[in-house]
Structures are given as structure tokens and as C-alpha cells.
Amino acid sequence: MKNILLILAYEGTHFYGWQNNGEGPSVEGVLKEKLSKIFPDPFKLQAASRTDRGVHAAQQCVHFLADELPDSLLYRLNRLLPPSIRILECKLMPHSFHSTLDVKSKIYTYSITNGPWQSPFERHFAWHVPQILNLNAMQEAADHLIGEHDFTSFCNKRKDHLYKSHQRRLIELTITQKRDCITLQLQANGFLYKMARNLVGTLVDVGRGKLPSETLPSILETRDRRRAGVSAPAHGLTLSEVLYEE
């Protein structure tokens, strides 16, 4: 059997997340359906990240086992897939490679339109926050979150998400602004359910003046989701990059 890696991008607007959970159309469901037209034998898809409903991906990594890697797989698959999903690359990997278990870290990007009006071209990809935000306070708050912590305060509960530990190492959380576009880049060795969106929502509350930046350490310590801020809308979040060991 060949271990085949697909690197894909998708617009998550009309999908109920990556995972095929029966609630609605999923990226996994569509991809598996189209792959089955090329690979008739049963197979299982393993993805680097379970992106939620409405979340986008610029680089999702998925692997599966098949008898062979057709030379025309990239072309054939992109012809079958809807325009909202595109395969960027496909290649053979060692049998030991696992797209989920071998992840070193993931990078998510969150986009905010910060101004009185939002362009209709941005409405599916950025959260519209019309109030003026204090970026210095937001970055100061973000700096308190860097490092290894228990991120229970930033994790929503869900029956099918059972974690052995809520410890995660947040490697980077930077905030930049270009005109009316604010971008938050988050890198961690793993993310809990809605962790990225809850971090962003809390930082926006800091930027609005609803939360002092110095309260972030105590919010972490309480391990109480109610102490953190709102959950940012899904459509502003993009899985930007998945990093593996060399």
C-alpha cells in the first residue's frame, strides 16, 4: 500500500467543518466522495486539523493508503472537486508518516476588518469590528499567553472532544495592522476546541477596553471558560500552515 499525502486549500463558508459528522456537507465528505471515483477500494482519510464549520484552510494536510499513486491524480481530482476545494500537491510519503500524529505545530491566521464599513469582498473572510481597537493593549495581553499553559479557559466543551490534557504550548501570537485590516497569527503545538477563536475574541475584548490586559494570567489560572471573552466568528479564521519535523 502507498501512503499518499494531499495538501489542499478550501473555503469553509458552506461546509460544516472538515469532519464528516452528518450535520451537513463537510470537506472530508466531499473529498472522500471524489476520491472514491478514482480509488474504488475502501480507505480512511486522516487530516492534520479538524477545522470547524465556516473555518477556511490555506494548507490542510491529509493522508490515506491506496494501492498506487496515479500520475494524473492532481489533475483528475481537481476536475472532480467543487471550486471551493483545491488540491495543491499530492505525493508519496514513508509508511511511518501520519498527517495528524506527526504535526509539530500549526499556524492559524485570524482577519479582522477594523473600520466603520466592511467591503463585501471581505465578509466571508474577516470579522467586522467597527470600534477602534487598542492594539498595544491587545499585544500586551497576548504576550501573557505565550508559553505552555493549561488553556481550559479558552476551550469550549463538546461531547466528541475529549482531551487527555488541556496543556498546550503557544509559540507565537502576533498582531499586525495594515490600513483597516488587523491580522492575528497564532502558532501552537496544538489547539483545543475553539481555542484560537476564543483567544482572538478575548483579545478583541481587551482592545475594546472591556478587559484589562493584565487579567490574562488570572483568566488562565481559573481554568474557567466563563472568565474569558467572546468566541470570534468562524469565518475570520484560516488554517494557514501545518509544520512537521524535517
Give the residue numbers annotated as catalytic, written as ranges.
Answer: 52
Residue 84 per-residue DSSP state: T
* Alpha-carbon gap, residue 72 to 240, rounded angstroms: 26
Confirm if 8 and 90 have CB atoms less than 8 A apart: no
Q: Which residue is associated with the grid cell 475529549?
A: 162
* Alpha-carbon gap, residue 111 to 239, rounded angstroms: 12
> How many residues can be counted in the chain?
246
* Alpha-carbon gap, residue 78 to 85, rounded angstroms: 8
| Identity of the residue numbered 237 | L
* Alpha-carbon gap, residue 98 to 45, rounded angstroms: 11
Confirm if 173 and 186 have CB atoms less than 8 A apart: yes
* Alpha-carbon gap, residue 51 to 234, rounded angstroms: 10
Cell numbers at residue 42, please? 475502501
Note the helical H segments in the chain: 27-35, 73-80, 135-143, 195-207, 216-222
* Alpha-carbon gap, residue 233 to 177, rounded angstroms: 19
Cell numbers at residue 58, please? 490555506
